[in-house]
């Protein structure tokens, strides 16, 4: 277990560093002059040159690269070109805001998806209806679901705010969007795992012993759903924390995704880099946590597959 864990952590660190290097290189090939983005109306070349010197943009690429990664290893993500404050201080509050949404979204998908999955496995009459719902939700892009919810509950029924923000009233629709779009995946896993478990030898034994259905379901069958569901929750938390860009754009939720989009438009390289790196860390970290939890719940998965 310890060896597997160390291996996983090492791979995760390598993946995050790879993302950082890739992001750094891509950022530098992106056309556009950050100095001009900072001072769009500056006429004299001297002003622009001055800005470049201040930001060390005049140095060779390799020096900038070494500088950046030297600082990165000390936990410093640099200073925003536009806001003149440290990237970490810009990102952390945004990360928390995205975190609330991610958590609410995951709770919504587990509830909706779990209900659909259990209903379709245990009640044959509902199977076709659930399959149709699953298919529809699976086929819709996040931003379309978001816009349709906004249209119905915001513009038509006036039940939800349409102006954006990060309050309790504002979280309902974006979380519901994430929940609806994510639900079919959970429904699928739950249904799959339940069917697997119901067809297994240990359920046959339990039935043969004369245990009541309810007991078999809760003590033997449902437990097996937990382990793949946890893997999925981990993947989703990571993916959502790396920025639910479209949902944040649709609802004006001031999270890390909206920050990244704004910074990209302002050519604010350090902030874009920071959000990409923090996003990659979130993805890798939550996958790792999910793997460890799963090994704990279901020791059969202890062996490393790859």
Q: Under the rule (CB under 8 A), what is the footprint of another protein?
A: 11-12, 14-16, 18-19, 22-23, 26-27, 29-32, 122, 124, 135-136, 138-144, 147-148, 150-151, 155, 195-196, 198-200, 203-204, 207, 213, 216-217, 239, 242-243, 245-246, 249-250, 257, 260-261, 264, 272, 275-276, 279-280, 283-284, 305-306
- Cβ-based nearer residue to another protein, 11 or 296: 11
Q: How many CB atoms lie within 10 A of CB 107?
A: 14
- Cβ-based nearer residue to another protein, 31 or 44: 31
> What residues contact 57, with CB distance under 8 A and at least 6 apart?
34, 35, 51, 64
- Cβ-based nearer residue to another protein, 67 or 304: 304
Q: How far apart are CA 53 and CA 60, in angstroms?
A: 12
Partners of 86 in the β-ladder: 79
> Minimum distance between the CB of residue 30 and another protein, rounded to whole angstroms?
4
> Minimum distance between the CB of residue 278 and another protein, rounded to whole angstroms?
9
Positive or negative, the CA dihedral 292, 298, 300, 306 is negative
> Minimum distance between the CB of residue 39 and another protein, rounded to whole angstroms?
20
For the chain, the C-alpha Rg in angstroms (whole number) is 24
Tokens of 53: 């010197």
- Cβ-based nearer residue to another protein, 179 or 279: 279
> Minimum distance between the CB of residue 135 and another protein, rounded to whole angstroms?
6
Strands (E), 115-232: none
């Amino acid at each position: 277990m310890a060896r597997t864990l160390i291996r996983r952590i090492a791979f995760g660190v390598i993946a995050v560093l790879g993302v950082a290097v890739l992001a750094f290189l891509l950022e530098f090939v992106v056309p556009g002059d950050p100095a001009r983005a900072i001072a769009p109306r500056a006429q004299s070349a001297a002003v622009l040159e001055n800005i470049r010197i201040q930001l060390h943009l005049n140095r060779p690429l390799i020096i900038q690269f070494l500088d950046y990664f030297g600082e990165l290893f000390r936990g410093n993500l640099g200073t925003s070109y536009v806001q003149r404050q440290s990237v970490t201080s810009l990102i952390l509050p945004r990360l928390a805001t995205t975190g609330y949404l991610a958590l609410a979204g995951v709770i919504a998908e587990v509830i909706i998806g779990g209900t659909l999955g259990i209903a379709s496995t245990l009640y044959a009459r509902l199977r076709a209806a659930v399959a149709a719902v699953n298919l529809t939700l699976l086929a819709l892009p996040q931003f379309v679901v978001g816009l349709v919810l906004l249209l119905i509950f915001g513009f038509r029924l006036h039940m939800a705010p349409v102006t954006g923000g990060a309050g309790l009233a504002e979280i309902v629709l974006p979380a519901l969007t994430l929940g609806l779009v994510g639900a079919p995946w959970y429904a699928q896993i739950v249904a799959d795992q339940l069917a697997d478990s119901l067809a297994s030898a240990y359920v046959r034994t339990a039935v043969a012993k004369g245990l009541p259905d309810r007991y078999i379901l809760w003590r033997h069958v449902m437990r097996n759903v937990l382990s793949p569901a946890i893997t999925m929750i981990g993947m989703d938390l990571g993916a959502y924390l790396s920025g639910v860009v479209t949902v944040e754009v649709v609802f004006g939720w001031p999270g890390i995704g909206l920050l990244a989009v704004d910074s990209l438009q302002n050519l604010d390289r350090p902030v874009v880099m920071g959000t990409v790196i923090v996003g990659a860390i979130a993805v890798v970290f939550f996958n790792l946590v999910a793997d460890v939890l799963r090994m704990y719940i279901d020791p059969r998965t202890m062996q490393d597959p790859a």
